[in-house]
Amino acid sequence: MPSEIIGEFGTPGASSEWIEAEGKLAIKHIVKICGAPPPEMKLEVIWQEHELGLYPVIGLTWEDPFRGVPSNYVSRCEAALAAYENRGELPPGWTMPPVRDDDEDIEEEPFDPNTRTSSTQTGRARRGWLRSRTR
pLDDT tens string for the chain (135 positions)? 899 999 999 888 889 899 999 999 999 999 999 999 999 999 999 999 888 888 899 999 999 999 999 999 999 999 999 999 988 888 888 888 888 876 665 554 554 445 444 333 434 443 343 333 334
pTM attached to this predicted model: 0.71
User: Quick one: how far is CA 82 from the chain centroid?
Assistant: 12
41, 60 Cβ separation under 8 angstroms: yes
Residue 15 CA to residue 5 CA, distance in Å, equals 21
Region 3-85: CATH code: 3.30.300
Determine if residue 80 is left, alpha or beta; phi over 0 gives left, psi from -120 to 50 gives alpha, anything else beta: alpha
